[in-house]
């Protein structure tokens, strides 16, 4: 038999009612918390939509409606008809990107991790086509498409922040170059995971295409033909 304390029941009921009505109670310092909450929910819904889940579109529409009610600016990737995942996942991308908008950040990352700026830029082009809030259907995020668990491991709190993302992605490329000793192996590790190189599993077909794209963009940004 379970006995309920009246004051505890009231406390739990109050908490649940407060949570359910969170969309109607926001002001001052609570705004940013609720916007972060909505952004995360929209992100999950968008990933589910990429995966083809039938209920995801309706959920995303509902969340965007809630965001509009509080005057929140919708992330680019949340907009209807917009696919912002990287081309390696076969999703449509905007073609009017500005490849020079992050040059200063790329230069900083280049100096910090001793990498050619053209290489960092090529990886960004292949990964996200310079869409800062890109999300793949697997959940990779931002310009250099960091997986959430990877971002946590390297101390990146906001993978959609261009500076943090570029520095984080560049640090991984430098790490893999030091560990594996070649650009090809570093790119395999970055795209498919370091276990593919460590266990000598070969190269996934998708990763072969990815490497070719990165090398092609690398030569282009270096001014080679």
pTM of the model: 0.61
Confidence of residue 73 (pLDDT cuts 50, 70, 90): confident
Confidence of residue 138 (pLDDT cuts 50, 70, 90): confident
Mean pLDDT for 203-212 is 90
Mean pLDDT for 8-26 is 41
Measured between alpha carbons, how far is 146 from 156 in angstroms, rounded to an integer?
9
Is 127 annotated in the active site?
yes
Q: Provide the Cα torsion 73, 86, 129, 111; round to 10°.
A: 100
Strands (E), 40-80: none
* Rounded (5°) CA angle 55-58-59: 80
Confidence of residue 79 (pLDDT cuts 50, 70, 90): low
Site of tokens 């997986």? 147
Domains of the chain: 6-78 (no CATH), 87-221 (1.10.530.10)
Give the model's pLDDT for residue 131. 87
Of 35, 49, 76, 127, the active-site residue reads 127
The pLDDT of residue 34 is above 80: no
Strand partners, 141: 135, 146
């Amino acid at each position: 038999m379970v006995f309920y304390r009246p004051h505890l029941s009231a406390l739990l009921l109050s908490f649940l009612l407060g949570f359910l009505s969170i969309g109607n109670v926001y002001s001052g310092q609570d705004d940013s918390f609720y916007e972060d909450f909505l952004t995360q929910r929209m992100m999950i819904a968008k990933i589910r939509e990429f995966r083809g889940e039938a209920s995801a579109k309706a959920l995303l529409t509902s969340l965007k409606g809630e965001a509009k009610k509080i005057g929140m600016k919708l992330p680019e990737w949340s907009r209807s008809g917009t696919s912002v995942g990287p081309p390696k996942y076969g999703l449509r991308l905007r073609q009017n990107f500005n490849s020079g908008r992050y040059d200063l950040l790329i230069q900083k990352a280049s100096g910090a991790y001793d990498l050619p700026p053209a290489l960092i830029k090529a990886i960004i082009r292949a990964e996200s086509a310079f869409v800062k809030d890109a999300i793949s259907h697997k959940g990779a995020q931002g310009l250099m498409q960091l997986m959430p668990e990877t971002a946590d491991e390297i101390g990146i709190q906001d993978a959609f922040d261009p500076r943090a993302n570029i520095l984080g992605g560049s640090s991984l490329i430098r790490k893999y170059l030091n560990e594996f000793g070649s650009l090809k192996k570093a790119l395999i590790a970055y795209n498919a995971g370091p276990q593919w190189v460590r266990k000598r599993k070969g190269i996934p077909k998708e990763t072969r295409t990815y490497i070719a794209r990165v090398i092609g963009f690398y030569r282009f940004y270096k001014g080679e033909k």
